[in-house]
Amino acid sequence: MSGFNASFRHELVCTRRARVPQLLLFVFLGMVSVSAFIGWSARSAVTAVYDRISAAGLTSAPNPFAGSSPLYYAHNSVIYVVLIGALMAIVLGVQATLRDRKAATFTLILSRPVGSVGRLLGQLSALSVVIAVVLAISTVISWASIGIITGGILGLDPTLRLAAFAVLSWLLLTGFALLGMLTGSYSKKETTALLVPFIAWSVIAFVLPQLGTAARPVALLNPVPAIPPPSGGIFDTVNSFVGPFAVTEQFKHAAGVVLQDGAVTGSPVLAISLLIAFVALLTVLVAATPRQRLRSPLHD
Amino acid sequence: MTTPAIQAIDLAKSYGSREALSGLTLEIGQGEVFGLLGHNGAGKTTTVSILTTLLPPTSGTALINGYDVVTQAHDVRRSIGYLPENVQFYDHLSVRENLRFFGHLSGMRKPDARITEVLEFLDFGGMENRRLGGFSKGMRQRIGIAQAILHSPAVLFLDEPTSGLDPEGVRGLRETIGRLNSEFGMTIFMNTHLLSEVTKTCTSIGILRSGALVHSDSMGQTLDAFPGDDSLESVYFQLESKPVR
């Protein structure tokens, strides 16, 4: 794949200089940093109320948080990946392919011994490294925050689970970066290059789950997947068709299992397989972008 | 027998029903400076785009240093440098970062020393770390030439290289072309509107009209064929109105 290494290095340099991805990166890291503390304050407030009513003899039920995993504090990160992380990945992807069309540098690039597959996969690899670095930083922040809140160092099992959650997040975000690369290559205008993947993201994250589960839009902002519809009904039938395409819900399911969320049950294998299929399909579509398409001018 | 630097045989290109280039047959020897002349829309940029592998021809064959532009496109790209009209770079990157990228794309592993050498050759030393954002057209053109010659190509394609340059820039470019040809023996193929520059720079010329080559010969023989005319301009207008061969 000629041009792979050059494109990989160049994409890293360009992404480091771009302002919008940097801004989104800081917002994402900021949200992840505070998410553990948001979880901690929610838990403290509920426990305080529970202690008071328990002392007053108003309940004999156990504290709802008793025995919950320390990874509870990382649950909010799931929704930040779906909301902020996905948007960051789309912007990164769109900028990667749109940059050369905007600057009209593709004419020069394609006059060099570079294949379009090597060029695009080099850029994709750089973006996936950027995403991996962002997620690695956010994982370290989560790990440290949970340690501070629980007053001890996280054990091996929860640490590995946090790492597995980062890998799942990387998979989902790489998929959205690919979506951005695709529209950056094919859109006739800069505005549609960003708008189309944002619409696709909102359909994947909100419309498809609603069609399949009748969930309220606000419910979809929860870090856990929407409750499946009763079997045999219309929503169940629709869900069997559209459910696999709701990759953010698949991600929430797999993340919920990995992070030991009590509200999520079942095996994560199907959800992870669908995430991999989502990324693989988009990779094939990006790699198949015709050479002439890459140097097509924008009509803005 | 030496392989011609550029060879086109019955080259044609159509965009839908519009024929941009028809039956172009041309041979340019090693070390020549060739100027392709013609009105706007005559097919000059289409010719360069095909020869630089950016566009596939509809029919015909083109060879650069013996490599076919369609079936051996990567070999062609390795042996050519290309300066497009209105060359563009990444404005947020420095001169060195831009050139390093194009050096890597050309297969150079460590292009930094060569970048310094090329920039000094173009009297641009000391500008390596400046960002291109505030550069004038003339400065960009020099960086464009730097990226085109970075990997020491055998053939250099220049598409309207003097477009938008001030007189000083035009003179500087002419001198650079002359030095590239004389010091490195580079074959140079250029499209241009400036007949005065062609007279001063080129060793051979071709004239395109409506996609067809109406004349191709050495500069000396072209001028000798019109003894009454002392400038290329009047010769050009006579040749340009010739019937298509």
Residues across chain A: 300
A5 in contact with chain B, both atoms CB, cutoff 8 A: yes
Verify whether the Cβ–Cβ distance A6 to B105 is below 8 Å: yes
Of B81, B172, B170, B88, which Cα lies nearest the Cα of B135?
A: B88
Q: Predicted ipTM?
A: 0.86
Q: Which residues 160-219 on chain A approach chain B with CB closer than 8 angstroms?
A: none
**Closest Cβ opposite residue B106 in set A17, A105, A113:** A113
* Closest CA–CA distance from residue B210 to any residue of chain A (Å): 24
How far is residue B156's CA from residue B5's CA, in Å, rounded to a whole number?
Answer: 10
For an interface test with A, the pick among B101, B108, B145 (most A C-beta atoms closer than 10 Å) comes out as B101
Residue B91: list chain A partners with CB under 8 A.
103
**Closest Cβ opposite residue A107 in set B54, B92, B93:** B54
C-alpha B165, offset from chain centre:
16
A14 in contact with chain B, both atoms CB, cutoff 8 A: yes
A2 in contact with chain B, both atoms CB, cutoff 8 A: yes
Per-residue pLDDT of A79-106, as tens digits, reads 999 998 999 899 999 999 999 888 888 8
* Residue type for position B85: E
Contact A127, A15 (CB under 8 A): yes
H or E segment and range at residue A163: helix A156-186
In this prediction, residue A214 carries a pLDDT of 65
In this prediction, residue B32 carries a pLDDT of 95
Burial of A294 (0-12, 13-18, 19+ CB in 10 A): buried
* DSSP-assigned letters across all residues of B36-102: EE--TTSSHHHHHHHHTTSS--SEEEEEETTEETTTTHHHHHHHEEEE-TT----TTSBHHHHHHHH
C-alpha A155, offset from chain centre:
25
Contact B91, B133 (CB under 8 A): yes
pLDDT of B151 above 70: yes
Verify whether the Cβ–Cβ distance A103 to B53 is below 8 Å: no
A296 in contact with chain B, both atoms CB, cutoff 8 A: no
In this prediction, residue A217 carries a pLDDT of 66
pLDDT of B108 above 60: yes
Residue B168: band (very low, low, confident or very high) from pLDDT cuts 50, 70, 90: confident
- What average pLDDT does this structure show over B39-56? 92
Residue B90: list chain A partners with CB under 8 A.
14, 99, 103, 105
C-alpha A93, offset from chain centre:
13
Structure tokens that stand for A259 in this block: 């992070």
Structure tokens that stand for A21 in this block: 């991805």
pLDDT of B245 above 60: no
How far is residue B63's CA from residue B5's CA, in Å, rounded to a whole number?
Answer: 8
B105 in contact with chain A, both atoms CB, cutoff 8 A: yes
Verify whether the Cβ–Cβ distance A105 to B93 is below 8 Å: no
Using a pLDDT cut of 70, give the percent of chain B over it. 96
Structure tokens that stand for A27 in this block: 């917002």
User: B131-145, B146-160, B183-197, B219-233 — which is least confidently predicted?
Assistant: B219-233
Per-residue pLDDT of A243-300, as tens digits, reads 788 899 999 999 999 998 877 888 899 999 999 999 999 999 999 999 888 888 888 7
In this prediction, residue B79 carries a pLDDT of 95
Contact A130, A15 (CB under 8 A): yes
Verify whether the Cβ–Cβ distance A114 to B105 is below 8 Å: yes
Residue B30: band (very low, low, confident or very high) from pLDDT cuts 50, 70, 90: very high
Residue A298: list chain B partners with CB under 8 A.
none
Using a pLDDT cut of 90, give the percent of chain A over it. 45
Residue A113: list chain B partners with CB under 8 A.
74-75, 77-78, 105-107
Contact A286, A120 (CB under 8 A): yes
Residue B156's beta-bridge partner residues? B81, B188
In this prediction, residue A121 carries a pLDDT of 96
pLDDT of A1 above 70: no
Residue B1: band (very low, low, confident or very high) from pLDDT cuts 50, 70, 90: low
In this prediction, residue B229 carries a pLDDT of 66
Q: Which residues 29-68 on chain A approach chain B with CB closer than 8 angstroms?
A: none
Q: How many Cβ pairs within 8 Å bridge chains A and B?
A: 65
B135 SS3 class: coil
Q: Which residues 107-136 on chain B approach chain A with CB closer than 8 angstroms?
A: 107
